[in-house]
Amino acid sequence: MTRLMLVLSALVLALTGAALVIGPANAPYGDSLAALFVDDGTPLTLVMREIRLPRAILALAIGASLGMAGAAMQGYLRNPLADPGLIGVSASAALGAVLAIQTGLAAAFAFGLPLAALAGAVLGVVLVLALAGPRGASITLILAGIVVSSLAGALTSLVLNLSPNPFAASEIVFWMMGSLADRSMDHVWLALPLIALGLALLATLTRGLEALTLGEDAAQALGINLTRLRLTLVVGTAAVVGASTAVAGTIGFVGLVVPHLLRPFVGARPGALLWASALGGAAMLLAADILVRVVLPTKDLKLGVVTALVGAPLFLHLIYKTRRQMA
Amino acid sequence: MRNSRVIALALGAVLATAPAGAQDGADPGVPAAPPERVVSMNLCTDQLAMMLADDDQLHSVSYLSQQARGSALVEQARQYVPNRALAEEIYLMDPDLVIAGSFSDRTTLDMLRRLDVPVAVFEPAGNLSDIRDRVRRMGAVLHREEAADRMVARFEARLAELSAQAPPEGARPSAALYSANGWSSGGKTLPGQIVTAAGFDLVADDFGLAWGGFLPLELLAMSDPDAVITGQPYPADSRAEEILDHPVVAHLKRDSMRGIVSDQDWSCGTPLVLDAIARLSDARLAASGAGR
């Protein structure tokens, strides 16, 4: 268990380093890192501090957010198919963000953008949990998720199509697929406070989620307040997913793949899975973001494309397994 | 009269489903007699037509020409009836010549041709030398050749004058054209030629993007250009344009060259680009005078 955390931490550290030194500017790795810490007056410092550093920080924070949110939802619903991207939480957060940008709320008030995305995410989580029921049976969960995400996606497209800005419509791809290209430190400061709050909230779920594996009655007998647990889960998930989506768009499948891969290593304990999934999510998103920069540096290949290429086959595998269990 | 035109239009709509074919060969570009009721349906042909048409010759221009966002001749364009480049509305204006851009909707143009409306199609000017051809051709289709010749002569004289002010190879400051999504135009595009004519070297050319291409923000930062020229933002925010407010771009826009934006004068290949070149030259001179 601790060994797993050590391995994951080392992996995240290595990938962060790689994310900082790999990029189209193609400077020597040593020079790049030196320019990050010491302002040598060359443009390389500008590249490192204003382009690569924010991008690496966001990949780290957003990956951790999505990983932990996925693990928390799966633990709470006791269903391995739960993922904020798949069940429409990210899509509703994107709708909130797009509304904030197009109505001018984001420009009028510094935290307008992430808070609007948070509001959208809360609406999405509550809607899905209400529709899927407290047990979160696979079929109702997935159906509710499909409805919420396609509705939110359609409304996002509608808002962008109505914009007087001719570029807005082409942004539908960004909001549906997600990207970290050309984000700045401003975006980091916008997203980080809410992400930190959400991660802190989700981390308090450890005991509750473990108790919940025994069933709701047993959990209550162990002194777990289920109403509070649910509220913490909703607010925590909405905070991390909302803030992440507000600056990077919808990135799917991270919250699905990472907990699934790590579950065997933590003895299937949902509490222990939380932080492991946060690290794993960070590693996965850092790796995906390095990949989009190496494979198609000038095309702004969307992150969601990479995560979906990895995640969709796994999702199909999970559905197949679920079907066999049900049969 | 009105009724028969509406019926003809309906008939045209039915026929529009049939393949076009033979008509394409006989391009009625230059009408036999001077046209008296001309409709232009493209922002750039609008501007050339307004500059060259005789009084009362031009009836309608595209609605875009009446909007300050892209049009360099808003006031002048307001004297004409606006159109939205729809076959129905243009046909009912009863024009004896329709002038369109090559990016105008093909189905619209095909329908107009089918309804026996002469259509002249103009390719957009891709570089500075194309501008002469476009002015002459506009003169030809409007039967205003003399006015066009005078305009070309003035254009060439002033262009030569501006080019003479440009510093020699090696002493030229570098400039990057940077627009939404990180698109950077190079020296084989009209905006690129405006910049080089004003005495700058283009960063995009160094990266092999002579025809324009996406220039990653990192590479823009590493090339450290003397001037970064961005466009005017559209109303309402978009993520595509957000890159133009990135701290790196803000840092690269040096104080002395901060005021330069590619505005309406850049959007079309007309003699108005000379004003853009002149403004850029002035900014270059002011910056070098300030002892940068």
Show the tokens assigned to B104: 């105008």
Within a 10 A sphere around the Cβ of B197, how many other Cβ atoms? 21
pLDDT tens-place string over residues B204-235:
999 999 998 889 888 999 988 988 998 877 77
Q: Where residue B5 falls among pLDDT bands split at 50, 70, 90?
A: low
User: Which tens digits make up the pLDDT trace of B15-64?
Assistant: 444 443 333 444 456 788 889 999 999 999 999 999 999 988 999 999 99
Chain B residues close to A298, C-beta within 8 Å:
213-216
Tell me what percent of chain B is helix, strand and coil, each rounded to the nearest 5: 50, 15, 35
Mean pLDDT of A203-211: 93
Quickly tell me which residue has 């990192």 as its tokens.
B218
The mean pLDDT of B94-107, rounded to a whole number, is 90
Helix ranges restricted to H, chain A? 2-21, 29-37, 43-46, 53-77, 89-103, 105-108, 112-132, 138-162, 172-177, 185-203, 206-212, 216-221, 226-248, 254-262, 270-295, 303-326
Check B234 against A186: CB less than 8 A apart.
no
Q: What are phi and psi of B234, to 5 degrees?
A: -80, 160
Chains A & B: contacts with CB separation below 8 Å: 85
**In the numeric block, which tokens belong to residue B118?**
């002469």
Placement of tokens 């349906």 in the chain: B41
Lowest-confidence pick of A30-34, A82-86, B29-33:
B29-33
Mean pLDDT (chain B) is 84
How many CB atoms are closer than 10 A to CB B69? 15
Query: Do the chains contact at B219 and A174, CB–CB below 8 Å?
Result: no
Burial class for B79, CB neighbours closer than 10 Å (0-12, 13-18, 19+): exposed
What pLDDT is stored for residue B291 in this prediction? 47
Confidence of residue B9 (pLDDT cuts 50, 70, 90): low
Contact B221 A25 (CB under 8 A): yes
The pLDDT score that the predictor gives to residue A121 is: 94
Cβ neighbours of residue A101 under 8 Å, at least 6 residues apart? A107, A113, B237, B239
Q: What is the pLDDT of residues B121-143, one digit of tens each?
A: 999 888 899 999 999 999 999 99
Alpha-carbon gap, residue A18 to A23, rounded angstroms: 9
- Chain A residue numbers with beta carbons less than 8 Å from the beta carbon of B216 are 23-25, 297-298
Report which of A247, A312, A290, A293 is spatially closest to residue A15, judged by C-alpha positions.
A290
Interface test with A, best of B64, B206, B239 (most A CBs within 10 A): B239
Q: How many CB atoms lie within 10 A of CB B287?
A: 18
The pLDDT of residue B51 is 94
Q: Higher pLDDT residue, B62 or A172?
A: B62
Beta strands in B104-252 (DSSP E): 119-122, 174-178, 183-184, 201-202, 213-214, 227-231
Contacts of A106 in chain B (CB under 8 A): 237
Helix (H, G, I), strand (E, B) or coil at B94: coil
The alpha carbon dihedral of B33, B37, B40, B45 has a sign of: positive
Distances (CA, A) of A199 to A47, A116, A205, A239: 29, 18, 10, 8
Q: What is the identity of the amino acid at B157? A: A
Residue B261, min C-alpha distance to chain A (Å)? 18
